[in-house]
Amino acid sequence: MSNTTENATGNADDVIRCDACPVLCRIREGQAGACDRYANREGTLLRLDPLLVTARAEALVPFLEESAQWDGELMAGERFLTGVGSGTTYPDYKPAPFIVSAEVDGIDMVTVVSEGIFSYCGVKVKIDTDRHLGPEAAAVRCQGEVIGHVSTAEYGSQMLALGGVQHFTGGSRREGDVTCQALMKMCNSQPVELDIEGGCGLVVEAGAAPIVDGQRETLMRVGCGSATIGMFARQWQGHADEVIVVDDQITGVLSEHMAGKFLGLPAAGIRVRGRRSTPGRYFQVAEAGNAWGGTTLSNPLEIIERIDPKVAWPGLRLLMVSTTGQNAAWYKLNQDLEPVAAEMPAVILETAERIAENCEPALSTVLYMAGAGGSLRAGVTENPVRLTRSVKQAITRVTCGGAPCYIWPGGGITLMVDVSRMPENSFGYVPTPALVSPIEFTLTLEDYAALGGHVASVVRLDQVLAEGGHETRPALPENPWPLDRL
């Protein structure tokens, strides 16, 4: 990085202009820039965070001779230089901060390392909950500012789409700043408070259970009401005459369902509200909400439209249960064919508990999504389109802090990465506003030269490590090793 010293106060070494982003902070001695990433230390512009190296360890505790002493350092076989703490070369008309080479299985590999500045970025948030968050396309606010919207509901989860260039730059200055800070915290796995218009209050933290209207979720539903019938029908056979699995999306009715027909269950004559789809499957049985099965119902009997006296009988045993098993009620029909609450038999209680057992823990999952285009690619090669093509052809591997990325088809390098698989505090910001995130491009030295890479700027990894100023952490075992053969 080039450092520009200005004579702003009569002392030529007193102020440094930082060119790490378009803000061009003028930083006095002993102070940091607006992003808190760079500081003026005795007239030199320094990156405050250490350069992060991940290591694939051969052994965590070496066997030592009695005379030797182990200082606690990780005994590593291979090391990978991540973009975390690497700095940036905005705008990338010059080579990336680090272009390092290392030999892997007898092949010279190159990793181009940088911290990209992204206005074209956002997050997709998966919320595991059976409760209604808000209407689809409803605005999502943070500190009163709109930073995204509710997206489509998926199987047992609801999705949020947050950030994007329109919220970073298309609204007020405050909207951009709030969006930037909220996304940075979210990507660094810190809790963020959100409010959904026409819906609930929400606390999202990557890798932690979501908090909906002050209540922490525990379970992601086992499936829709119909799927729950299919999974547990045999366990109810002989113990219940009818089972209704309450679900705001697809409610299941055992005796009508194909699973009930397969088991030879007789019709029970209990008709539920809503639109009948296929046998035993009902849509729109109630409004979406935060009670039974993600509906507004606190009394599950409200789902019953009528009971046919020509089919039902006194003493009929009825189980009503939610898709998480957390709500369950047991009834018997009296002489007037009215459901009367009764003590739940142990065998039925066990099935409700089994539904809950088959539910996975509720989590908030944050996927960072960005377009790695523009001048970022010029820090890798003099002909940026060749980098794009090499990524699409799987010649070049893209990682973020060493974590694997999904590359979307189509034009450009549009990547998506699970932030929980990245190192802690991988993300920063610049007050333009934009997010700063690590990115690495890894390929063979031969392929790097072929795509017009900045070969003259390649340095050996051991040279970089010998200079110090880095921190080594063990690589996450769930991540593939970035230097493995493509």
Six token digits for residue 320: 């009503």
* pLDDT over threshold 50, residue 8: no
The answer to which of 30-44, 72-86, 470-484 has the lowest mean pLDDT is 72-86
Please tell me whether residue 262 adopts helix, strand or coil conformation: helix
* pLDDT digit string, tens, across residues 122-137: 999 999 998 889 999 9
Report pLDDT digits (tens) over 457-468.
Answer: 999 999 999 988
Q: Check whether 75 has a pLDDT greater than 70.
A: no
Distances (CA, A) of 1 to 21, 44, 377: 11, 11, 17
In 3D space, the residue among 181, 184, 100 whose CA is nearest the CA of residue 143 turns out to be 181
CA angle 428-189-205, nearest 5°?
135
DSSP state for residue 475 in the 8-state scheme:
P
Mean pLDDT in the chain? 89
Among 26-35, 283-292, 366-375, the least confident range:
26-35
Pairing of strands 242-246, 434-444: unpaired
CA angle 297, 301, 302 (to 5 degrees): 55
For residues 56 and 442, the model is more confident at 442
Domain ranges of the chain: 4-47, 51-119+365-474, 225-357
- For 224-246, how does the pLDDT look when each residue is reduced to its tens digit (9 = 90+)? 999 999 999 999 999 999 999 99
Q: Which residue bears the tokens 């979720």?
A: 217
pTM given for the model: 0.86
Residue 331 has pLDDT above 70, yes or no: yes
